[in-house]
Amino acid sequence: MFHWLNESTTFFPSSESGIDMDPDDLSPEWHDVASRDQLDPDFPLGVEVNGQNVGLYLQDDEVRALEDICPHAYALLSQGFQENGQIECPLHAARFDIATGKCLNEIGQHDIRCFPVKVEGGRVSIRIPIKVEEAPK
Ligand code: FES
């Protein structure tokens, strides 16, 4: 369903991501959310787009965008600890793979969604789900 594009600046989550999203469930427009220079490989950046919290990560020089609400008890993952390709929740230490959104320990309860990312002209843009209430669980 999603795949890497030949454009080096655009990332679409692959079918190996924690949660597969139908492209029809994503906003057609790209939302400008940050400058590429704001991103640090050791510290996620939390942003809010149309009421949805998204965590931006710089991982192996690629930008990733993940759902930012921890499935366990609603903490913001972007306030957690980024290390070794994982984000650890600041409250009870659920861990998720930054590249795929996969939940890596039991307390996290389930995988989180990865969103398409585009970097152009030093700006980071993402696509997000159209309807929050229809987001996959
Ligand atoms: S809120 Fe994230 S592990 Fe509890």
Q: Which amino acid is at 121?
A: G
- Residue 135 within any structural domain of the chain: no
pTM of the predicted protein model: 0.85
For range 5-24, the mean pLDDT: 62
- Residue 114 within any structural domain of the chain: yes
* Probe residue for ligand 1, chosen from 67, 107, 110 as the CB with the greatest number of ligand atoms within 8 Å: 107
Domain that holds residue 57: 10-130
Percent of the chain having pLDDT more than 90? 72
* Probe residue for ligand 1, chosen from 79, 89, 96, 112 as the CB with the greatest number of ligand atoms within 8 Å: 89
Q: Indicate the number of domains in the chain.
A: 1
24: domain CATH number?
2.102.10.10
- Residue 76 within any structural domain of the chain: yes
pLDDT band at 6 (very low <50, low <70, confident <90, very high): very low
- Residue 136 within any structural domain of the chain: no
Task: State whether residue 106 is helix, strand or coil.
Answer: helix
pLDDT band at 18 (very low <50, low <70, confident <90, very high): low
pLDDT band at 63 (very low <50, low <70, confident <90, very high): very high
- Residue 71 within any structural domain of the chain: yes
pLDDT of 11 over the 90 cut: no
- How far, in Å, CA of 42 to CA of 136, rounded? 29
For range 90-101, the mean pLDDT: 96
